[in-house]
Amino acid sequence: MQKVEICGVDTSGLPKLTAAESEELMKRLKAGDKKARDKFIVGNMRLVLSLVKRFRIKNLGVDDVFQAGCVGLIKAIDGFDLRVGVKFSTYAVPMIIGEIKRYLRDGNSLRVSRSIRDMAYRVLKARETIEGRDEEASIEKIANELGVAEREVVYALDAISDPISIYEPVYNKSGDTLLLMDQLCDEKNTDEIWTEHVALSEAMEKLGEREKKILFLRYYEGKTQTEISEEVGISQAQVSRLEKNALQNIRLNIS
């Protein structure tokens, strides 16, 4: 991001439009003035550049990301309505960021199907509409707005969310860095789970050797009762009875 020239554009010399100039150029370009349109695009490239700097770009070139941002800028220009009564930058920023994110996502090795991306786009538009009514855009409201199930909304949003590393810093002050992994808990190795494992091992020790073998073959190796009966040399009905008795004894010894 230290480059001065991006896509052949000298970013250090980009012009900056005043509010009055921006409004005047917008009126002219909407009237079909191509020169005003070109001048307006160049005059807003600083906005694109400032948004590109928000992203940590590693594998993909800054040039390509800047171009994606410019595509978002042009889409914002085409879609902007002077009658809305808001600043152009307010309208353009989310569209430019969305285009950059879309480019980065499509360039990622994790591919998201077109249908899911389309659903995600509809979800984001519905959220804009709901928030435009000064309402909270909950999953339920978005789903009702689109006429789809809530799980489809959640799935679409999850699919376009950018993954982050568990080593991502979430707090840094006076040299003390707190990573995301520092806030994650291990729900599989709690004291309660450890106690249950000990109790289960003790209960298993009280079973006969044949019952232990049946449970091992059934739940560790995943064999059917018929397969176990052939291996152990007893009927399938006996295997079923021994398995039920063993499980019942384990429950009694643990409880």
What pLDDT was estimated at residue 109? 47
What is the sign, positive or negative, of the torsion defined by CA atoms of 213, 215, 219, 222?
A: positive
191-254 and 1-109 share a CATH fold: no
Per-residue pLDDT of the chain in tens (255 residues, 90 and over written 9): 455 566 666 677 788 888 889 889 999 999 999 999 999 999 999 888 888 887 766 544 677 888 888 999 999 998 888 887 788 888 888 889 888 888 877 665 455 567 777 888 889 899 889 988 888 888 999 999 999 998 888 888 877 666 565 656 666 655 566 666 666 665 655 556 656 666 777 778 888 888 888 888 888 788 888 888 988 899 988 988 898 888 888 888 766
> Is the CB of residue 9 less than 8 Å from the CB of residue 45?
yes
Query: The domain 1-109 is classified under which CATH number: 3.90.1170.50, 1.10.8.190, 3.90.550.10, 1.20.120.1810?
Result: 1.20.120.1810
> Is the CB of residue 48 less than 8 Å from the CB of residue 96?
yes
> Is the CB of residue 43 less than 8 Å from the CB of residue 70?
no
Residue 239, phi then psi, degrees to nearest 5: -60, -45
Nearest Cα neighbor of 97 from 138, 53, 136, 144 is 53
CA distance 108 to 162: 10
What pLDDT was estimated at residue 112? 58
CA distance 114 to 83: 33
- Tell if the pTM clears 0.75, that is, is over it: no
CATH architecture label of 112-184: Orthogonal Bundle (1.10)
Residue holding tokens 């176990």? 228
Reading the block at residue 234, the tokens are 């007893």
Nearest Cα neighbor of 228 from 247, 211, 245 is 211
> Which CATH code for domain 191-254?
1.10.10.10
Structural domain spans, the chain: 1-109, 112-184, 191-254
Residue 121, phi then psi, degrees to nearest 5: -65, -45
> Is the CB of residue 9 less than 8 Å from the CB of residue 27?
no
